[in-house]
Amino acid sequence: MYEDAFVYEKNRFEDDGGLRTKSYLLQGEIDKPWLKKKDWRDRATWWITFTMIWIGIAASAAVCWNRWATVLLIKEPLCLVMQDDFDTFSVDHEGATWMREVDMSGFGNGEFEMTTNFDNNSFVKDGKLYIMPTLTSLAIGQDNVFNDFTFNITGCTNTKNFEGSACGAVSNQTSKTVINPVMSARLTTQKSHSIRYGRIDIRAKLPRGDWLWPALWMLPVDNKYGPWPLSGEIDIMESRGNDIRYTGQGSNVVRGSLNWGPTVALNAAWRTFGFWFDRRKSFANDFHIYTMEWSPEFIRMSVDNRLHKMLELRFNEPFFTRGDFPAVIENGTDSITLPNPWASGSDSTPFDQPFYLIMNVAVGGTSGWFPDNLGNKPWLDNSGTAMYDFAHSQDTWYATWPESPEDRAMVIDYVKMYELC
């Protein structure tokens, strides 16, 4: 009977062309694999697999715990020193939070803007502060920027005269001197608030436009160890307004750094800087929180959270040692032993004194922030006519500046300053 049934099903399978794949176990012993002795290699494979999974979980947990346990934190309590939500604009009066620096000097960077106290360059609207660059030609006429015009800025605050005239300029086509082609603003808390160790949070949206240079940074109140860079500079955030395709790091990159050194020529900022970037979008698209945390043990600059750190530096060795400076330098025609300007301080010196906050949008410059020959840069830093060349290419770069203040300006939602209590 079984044989007949097998033949019948076989014939059915062949008759329908093999379209059905039904099988029957009609004779012989039934296979019972659970009764067989297991292969030790199968069991070993099982144990190896699950052991590796558990090792991976344990290792991940250990790494996470170590990161959490070793993260640098300010352990002392912090006290709020200043908070500005820009419901009003407290500026340029006795007891004001902000002072607008009025200056045409270029601030030691050969910058092409003048900073003003004009309300179209810095103003508050809808609870936000705008620092917005504008064309000088809109105020004095395009011809006067280039041709035989004397311009003296109103309310000049410069007492240091960084380079040339800080409060006025004369344009001349023959000598290729121009009036600073852009007006912008630079606001500081120098006369109101400073901190020595603490935290700063600034929620801001960066400007868009070629050769714009937005910055949130700090300078020492008293220059305890001498003029720049001996007393240091803290750059909480710097960026560039150029498109994200700009090969010199465009508006999708933000950078934090420290400037310090025993002389201007030996500024060692290249040893203490870092950056955070977004591959696909600009920091001009949205608001971000730029944070500086600073204690006697460390300093950190980050964007939005501690995982997005631009710079984190432990104060675990003297800065003079960190700089690896030459033992001997040239002083005119003489060679002298390089003195240590921070010998009397600690491992955090010169960053152990009160610093005040600065917020500004610069334009261009000859300091190297915009490297030569990148992004169709219309000037060379060492040309001697850099500002003139920049001004003459206005039609090119101004076309990249949005008309809307929301996009052209650095827009600041709030500023919070804390100090160790």
Provide the 3-class DSSP secondary structure of residue 368.
Answer: coil
Q: String of b and e for 139-156 (b: at least 16 CB within 10 Å)?
A: eeeeebbbeebebebeeb
- List all residues 6 or more positions away from 286 whose beta carbon is below 8 Å from its beta carbon: 205
H or E element in which residue 405 lies: helix 405-408
Q: Mind telling me the catalytic residues?
A: 233, 238
Show the tokens assigned to 383: 């040309």
CA distance 266 to 250: 27
- Specify the DSSP class assigned to residue 271: G
Separation CA 212–CA 99 (nearest Å): 22
Q: Which residue bears the tokens 């120098």?
A: 190
Residue linked to tokens 């808390």: 189
Which residue reads 């600009």 in tokens? 282
Cβ contacts of 115 within 8 Å, gap of 6 or more: 100, 101, 102, 103, 121, 183, 184, 185, 186, 360
Instruction: Give DSSP secondary structure letters for 123-163.
Output: EEETTEEEE--EETHHHH-HHHHHSSEEEE-TT---SS--S
Question: CA 346, CA 217: separation in Å to the nearest integer?
Answer: 23
Measured over the CA atoms of residue 328, residue 333, residue 334 and residue 338, the dihedral's sign is: negative
Task: Give 216's Cβ-side CA count (13 Å radius).
Answer: 28
Cα distance between residue 358 and residue 101, in whole Å: 10
Number of CB atoms found within 10 A of residue 416's CB: 17
Give the total residue count for the chain.
421
Distance from C-alpha of 300 to C-alpha of 272, rounded to nearest angstrom: 11
Output the six-digit token pair for 205. Answer: 């949206």
Per DSSP, helices labelled H in 311-357 are: 319-323
Rg (CA), the chain: 33
Q: Look at phi and psi of residue 115 and say left if phi exceeds 0, alpha if psi is from -120 to 50, else beta.
A: beta
